[in-house]
Amino acid sequence: MSAAWLRPVEPHRRFGVKGPRAAELIKKLGLVVPGQSNCWSPLRHSDRDDSWNVIGRLGLTEFFIEESGDAPGIEALEQLTRDGAPGVYPVLREDIAVVLGGKRAADVLVQVCNVNFAVLPARAVVMTLMIGVSVLVMPQVMDDGPVYRIWCDPSFGSYLKSELQQVVDP
């Protein structure tokens, strides 16, 4: 495992839903609804903890989903919300995504973000600022160790990636 590394995550699909009945709709599709706010979970009960398919609960009634491949879960949600389902609102998520990992990953994070990731509960979702940009961060344990999955508004993508890379490779 190298000191620290930063990798793009493409071309997974991303989607969001919010509203008082969003959790109900997600559950109806057989997807997992994280029980607590600001927590994430594998998208399906059959998915492992190191799955790329995840769902994050942002606050109480908003959800963020990333799914690889044909993304059938997202496809179904998009169709159901396209014409407006009562109490459920689709959220266009065109985020760019990167994964930060390696032994020095935590050291990189403390240079760019003021959240103490070391004391977060398992499967925490953090919405915070990273070098001035709003980001969504999910710490996760993958095959090659602990990693931090990071998403942000695509218009900041070029900036975030290049500046993070400079901190990763000083």
Burial of 142 (0-12, 13-18, 19+ CB in 10 A): middle
Contact 63, 55 (CB under 8 A): yes
105 makes contact with other proteins (CB under 8 A): no
91 makes contact with other proteins (CB under 8 A): yes
DSSP of 121-137, one letter per residue? PTTB-EEEEETTEEEEE
Residues 48, 118, 121, 143: which binds other proteins (CB under 8 A)?
118
Contact 67, 78 (CB under 8 A): no
Q: Which is nearer to other proteins, 14 or 149 (CB)?
A: 14
79 makes contact with other proteins (CB under 8 A): no
Locate 89 and state its tokens. 């609102």
Q: Which is nearer to other proteins, 18 or 44 (CB)?
A: 18
Residues 2, 46, 158, 165: which binds other proteins (CB under 8 A)?
158
Q: How far is 78 from 74, CA to CA, in rounded Å?
A: 6
> What is the binding site for other proteins (CB under 8 A)?
16, 18-19, 84, 89, 91-95, 107, 110-111, 113-114, 116, 118-119, 131-133, 153-159, 163, 166-167, 170
